[in-house]
Structures are given as C-alpha cells and as structure tokens.
Amino acid sequence: MTAVDATVDPGQGSGGDRRRAFAATWAWALRRAGATSLTADETEFRLTGAVDRLIEAARGEPFDASPAATVGAALVGLGFAEPVVLGESLRLIATEFPTVLTAEAGDATNVTDAGKRLAAIQAELATGFSTATRDRAAEEREVLRRAALATQADAQRALRASEARFRAVFGGPPIGIGLGAPDGSITDANETLANLLGLPVSALVGRRLGEFLVPEHRAGLDDAYTRLLTGEVRRTDLECRLARPGGAETWLSLRLTLVADEAGVPPRVTVVVEDVTEQRKLRLDREFQFSHDQLTGLANRVAFVERLTTLLRERGSVERVGLCFLDLDGFKVFNDSFGHPVGDELLVAVADRLRTLAGDALVARMGGDEFGILLAGTGGVADVERLAAELVRSLAVPFALADNRLTLSASIGVVEHPAADADAAELIRAAELTMYRAKSEGRGGWAVYDPHRIEQQVARYLLSTAMPAALERDEFVVEFQPLVGLTDGTVRGAEALVRWRHRELGLLSPKRFVGLAEETGAIVPIGRRVLQLACRQAARWPTTERLPGGWGPYVSVNLAVRQFRDPGLVDDVVRVLEETGLEPGRLQLELAAGAVSAVNTAPLQRLSALGVRLAVGDVSAGWANLGVLRELPIDVLKLSGGLVQRLTGTDRSPLDDQILESLVELARALGLQVVAEGIESVEQRDRLRALGCDTGQGWYYAPALGPEEFIRYLPGSAAVVAR
C-alpha cells in the first residue's frame, strides 16, 4: 500500500456533523499551508477518511496508535509535505479532535486515559510524517542522481529543497524528534528535543540518549534498543526521568520506532520525545486519590487488599503475615455528641497515632471508624499481639479536641497466618469477625483469631439472616409444657415454648436462637407470631371445668424486654385476643425478673386493665428488685428452676429452704400466686407444696408437648397426681 492509498473510504467511518466539520477545517488549513493537485472536495473527502482512522485508533480497545503513523505518511503522499502541515495537523488534533471524539460517543467518552492516547496519536502521526518525508527525500535524491549529468544544477536545488523540508519537519512540531544509530548514539535531532535535553543540536550528535537520563533508567532504554534491533518489536514506549541539575524532576515519554532502510544501509531508530512531567503528576495524583483516604491520608481498603494480595502472591517474599482490624468503640455516639467536623478531627488524630506506632507496617482506613494494619514477615501471633496491645494503650491516652480532653477505646481483631496458603479476602474477613468478638467481650481490648469461634459467629449470623424468611414460611412453632396445681394435680394451663423447625438444622430449641433474635430485634415479629399461635391453641382447649380464678386453662407466653418496649404491644394483644376469641383472663404474659427494671410500667397497666395476667419469671435468690413488685400490676411470681433444684441433692442447704420460704411469703403478702419451674422429682413437688406454692411445671409432670398432644393430656390430669 502506498502512502496515498493509506486513507480509508469515508463510508466506513461513523459519520456525524462534527466529524465532517473537523475534516473540512483540516482540509482548509492544509490547502492554505501546502501545494497539492487535489481539489478542495477531493482533499476533504480524503481527510474525512483519515479522521475515521484516527477516531478508530483513539477509541479502540486495546489501544493502538499506529494507524496515526499511516495518516501522517498519507499527508505526505497527498502532497502536503511542508513542515507547517505537520504543525497545523498536530495543533488541530490537540484542540479540535477531542470534541469530535465526544460527539462520536454521544456523551463523555468512556476512555479514562484520553489525554495520553491523544499524545500517542500525535507522536505516531509525527513519526509517520517525518519518516515519509525522509523517504521522499531519499527518492528524490535517487531521481536526482540518475538525472545528474543532464540537470545537475536543478537536481542540486531540488535536493536542497527536499532536505530543507525534512529539516523543517524536525524543527517545526512541538514534540522532540531524534534519529539514533544502532549503537544508541544520536545522529540528528530537532530543536524541541535539543531544548528538552538542554544542549544545542550540534552538541547532541554522537551523544547517547541514555546519558541524559537518571542512572536507574538507562538500562531500560538500552533494553528497548536491543529489542528493536533484534526484531523482537518494531516499536516500544518508555517513560523515563531526565537527569537535571539540583534534582528537579522532568519526565519524558519516549516512543522508539525501528526504521528499516534499503538493503545495505544500517537501520535507524526514530525517537519521539514529549515532556510529560505535568501529565505524570496529574496521573500520580489520581492514582493516590484512588488508593488513599482523602481525610486521613492513609491507604484505603482497595490499597490494603492489593498490598496483601501482592504479598500472598509473591511466594517466598514473606513467610507469614499479620493483620490488626481495629474499630473505634462508641464512635457513633461521639460523632452525634460533638458533630461530624470534630469526629473527622478525631479520625485524623487516630490515624496519626496508628501511623506512628505501626512503623513500616501498612496502615489503612478500611471505612468509617475502622482501620487495618498489615505486617509482613511476622514471627508468630505474639508479634501482632504486641502491636495490638500498644495500639490499645496509645488510643486510651486522651485526645485534645474541641477544647476537651476526649477519651477513646478500640476493639481489635488479630490474625497471624502463613502466607503460603492464605487468601486476602478470607484473612480480612477473619480479622473483622475477630474484632466483633473482641467488642462483644468488652471494649478496649483485642482478640486472637479462633477458627472454631469464627464458625460459631458465622452460624449465628446465618441464623439471624434466616429468621425473616423462616417467619414467612411458618417455621416457628409452639409447644406447651403443662402448669399443674400442686395441691390437686389439675392442669391449670401451659407455658408456650417456641421452637424453630429449621429446614436444614432440624428442630432448634429457644437457647439456639432467642438470644440472637433479641440482639437483632427479630424477637418482636417472632414474639408476635408466638403470641398468635399460643392464643389460637389455647382457644381450642376445653373449658368445661373452671379453675381457680374462674377461667379455664390459661396459656403463659414469654415476652422479651424489646417486646414490652414495642409501642404496638398492647394493640397486638388486643387484636390477637379478638381474632382467636380467647378470654383475656386465659392469657398470661411473662417477663424475666432481670428485665423488670428496664420495662415501662404504662403498657403493663394497660394490659392488666384488659384482664391479661402478668407474671415475673426466673426469680432467684439473688434478685434485688423485689421491692418493685408492689408498684407493678403483677399476678404471678415464678421461682427459677435453679432455686428449685437446690431443694434436693448433695448441695442442699437450710438456707435455700429459708430463701424459698421468704419468697413465697412475700408473694402471699402481695397477693400473688406462686409458680415453681423445673420440678423433676416427687421430693421437690412435696417440699414446694408444703411451702405454699400454687403451681408447678417441669419434667416430673411432662415435657413440652405438641398442640394436639397437650389437648389429649388435659382430660388425664388425674393421672398426673397419681405419679
């Protein structure tokens, strides 16, 4: 393909008014600058194809600027060989061509390195133009040589004109251009390159380009020359730092292209040089912003993960790694109290302390008030624990902020692991989960990774996330443990005990999930469901024989503190009673003794006014809130199973009898019924009956029973007494 044939048919381009306008502007500028045999329309037609070629190069993936060299050569082939042609072309590409790319994309282009791509396109176009100019000069010299005998004088003039054009190309563009010999020495250069290197053109000839670079970058240039001359590549790009007096930083972009000449003539290397100091600074600034936290200046989570991944991938670089995952305790309260500006100041101050203590270790802000520290080449978990202890002590020293001395603590998860078989994401996850364990065990400390404990945490997490779906699938069911009169053996009611029929784990007892549900707040909807199921079943129980108090068998439902705090509790109870038809007196709501002081009395008063029975359960010898019983509308006092168990056995003490007797007497004085939990033997039953307890429950009578099984149990209450 000749230089003229290098243009493409504009019908293959993407079209568009901006593209044609740019081609027209370019054609007008070139026709004004140089001579050509083409008409204005022909020139514009050819340049429209060239614009398409440049657009394809600029937007291509992967990026390849080499088509621009073909366009540069095509300009010479079309007759535009004057130096000003190259200058005008480079100017238009820099100023007008970006708008063409934007218009072609329909919006902002997705290319993130557009500036770098445009510079590469300019460099390739300049290389193609200068190479074509040199080739054209060589062709003209050959023609002149053959015609030398006849037209010696004209040939000399043409030769001088051709060489002048080639020289003008070197001197005209705003990009440094040089020619190099195979040994790396400079054979020619333009003024721009001379100015960049700080010497006149004449002083550059014979010098090696590597002499002008900092020592650490010279080997890279030598390697590039070798790869070109051995045919490994035809073109290569480098970014090198120029050696300057005083150490001033100047960075150059070098594009080296091998120029193969006719047989017998040694190849040469064309070097296109551009000062990219500012572009590099902007690029590094962007990279820093991408990998660092803007507030604290620390590395961010992305950089932390990348560094850890690199350490683990480079087998042999380190044998072990350590991580500290740190979370500030109570930072949200601090932020809400003092405001976000002061909170930001605190984060910066914390970052400074971490940076000082960590030494060579990488410190990162992982997000919010969480920080990570990565130690390479640890000798065991003790190394990481020492750092964790220092971090805890340092952060406990008050911070002077907002005219106050503010104290702070942090919880830290510690992980130390061999690098050979580790995964970055898994290590960070392990450290983070361990941090949460440290926080749950008491703030201002650290915990070391324990796989078994992590498995338990994960299992708890999976259970908590499965609760909403389990509610929708009706996986929560209720069983009933009989409440039996100690004097007559009558089944007076039952305590509703929730179970979870988990799809994978089977039937789960309350110990497996109720505490977790209270932590997450899921206890409110679960408790609402249990109340509904319990009342629905109790409404089915026969009421032919009235029990003490005038009602049939009642159902006792446990409520957590969060349920009593739920503003919709009373409305829920009213709605369920109406839906199921259960009399209010047959519903008993039970609150654990340890939570009595945390409950608002208003909902208790409203529930009592409805006729609902209220009980305080799990009362033991150490309960210190007996005085509040006279202030609450309580109907029943339930003695804990642990207290009942001490009535018999080797550890029985007369003091236990006295405590039980005192509790029963107190309940009687307040007009409360007394229920004893956890009865397992006839001796316990008889002793509790003698003390004056009204009702009992436990394995001595029956375990928790399914709804239908409990209904069958009711008529046989006399059989219970016979045991």
**For residue range 550-569, what is the model confidence (pLDDT) as tens digits?**
567 999 999 998 898 889 99
Q: Which CATH superfamily is domain 292-449 in?
A: Reverse transcriptase/Diguanylate cyclase domain (3.30.70.270)
Rounded to whole angstroms, how far apart are CA atoms 579 and 189?
96
Average pLDDT on 608-637 reads 85
- CB–CB of 518/562 below 8 Å? yes
Q: Is the separation of the CB atoms in 582 and 574 below 8 Å?
A: no
Average pLDDT value for residue range 489-518: 92
The pLDDT assigned to 141 comes to 67
Q: Which of 8-17, 654-663, 675-684 has maximum average pLDDT?
A: 675-684
Give the residue among 41, 16, 17, 21 at the shortest CA–CA distance from 31. Answer: 41
624 close to 596: Cβ distance less than 8 angstroms: no
pLDDT at 7: 39
Rounded Cα gap, residues 265 and 145, in angstroms = 18
Q: Which residue has the higher pLDDT, 591 or 117?
A: 591
This model's pTM is above 0.75: no
What is the rounded end-to-end Cα distance, in angstroms, of the chain? 109
The helix or strand, by DSSP H or E, that contains position 683, with its residue range, turns out to be helix 682-691
Rg (C-alpha) for the chain, rounded Å, is: 44
For the chain, the domains span 1-170, 175-290, 292-449, 463-699
Q: Which pairing describes strands 613-619 and 636-639: parallel, antiparallel, or unpaired?
A: parallel
Reported in sequence order, the residue ranges of 190-302 that DSSP labels E, i.e. its strands, are 235-242, 250-259, 268-275, 299-300
Over range 283-306, report the average pLDDT: 89
Cα–Cα distance between 696 and 487 in angstroms, integer?
10
Confidence of residue 215 (pLDDT cuts 50, 70, 90): very high
Strand 299-300 relative to strand 362-367, pairing: parallel
175-290: which CATH number, 3.10.580.10, 2.60.40.1220, 3.40.250.10, 3.30.450.20?
3.30.450.20
Average pLDDT, the chain: 84
Band (pLDDT 50/70/90 cuts) for residue 367 is: very high
Angle in degrees, 0-180, between the axes of helices 97-105 and 17-33, rounded to the nearest 10 = 160
Asked if 292-449 and 463-699 have one fold, the answer is: no
**Mean pLDDT calculated for residue range 298-318:** 87
Looking at per-residue confidence, does 315 or 665 come out higher?
665
The CA distance from 654 to 565, in Å, is: 39
Band of residue 100 on the pLDDT scale cut at 50, 70, 90: confident
Per-residue confidence at 6, pLDDT binned at 50, 70, 90? very low
Phi, psi angles (nearest 5°) of residue 78: -80, -5
- At residue 509 the predicted structure's pLDDT band, cuts being 50, 70 and 90, is very high
Q: What percent of the chain has pLDDT over 70?
A: 86
Average pLDDT on 259-276 reads 77
Quick one: how many helices (H) and strands (E) in the chain? 27, 22
CB atoms within 10 A of CB 715: 12
pLDDT of residue 548: 53
Tens digits of per-residue pLDDT, 219-234?
Answer: 999 999 899 888 898 8
In whole angstroms, give the CA distance from residue 64 to residue 276: 19
Mean pLDDT of 285-304: 90
Q: Which helix (H) or strand (E) holds 384?
A: helix 381-396
Task: Identify the CATH homologous superfamily for domain 463-699.
Answer: EAL domain (3.20.20.450)
Average pLDDT over residues 95-110: 68
Q: What is the pLDDT of residue 533?
A: 97
Q: How far apart (Å, rounded) are the C-alpha atoms in residues 136 and 164?
A: 12
> SS3 of 238, please?
strand
379-429 confidence digits (pLDDT tens): 899 999 999 999 999 999 999 887 788 888 999 999 998 887 788 999 999
- 594 has a pLDDT exceeding 90: no
Residue 430: pLDDT band with limits 50, 70, 90: very high
Q: Is the pLDDT of residue 262 over 60?
A: no
What is the pLDDT averaged over residues 673-695?
A: 93
Residue pLDDT, tens place only, 132-182? 887 887 776 666 566 555 545 554 555 455 555 545 555 545 688 888 888
Closest CA to 6 of 65, 57, 90, 68: 68
Q: Is pLDDT of 713 > 80?
A: yes
Give the tens place of pLDDT for each residue, 27-81: 888 877 665 667 878 888 888 888 988 988 888 888 888 898 889 888 888 888 7
Q: List the strands of the sheet with 235-242, edge to edge.
A: 186-189, 176-180, 268-275, 250-259, 235-242
- Give the Å distances, CA to CA, from 139 to 134, 136, 151, 261, 477: 9, 5, 16, 12, 96
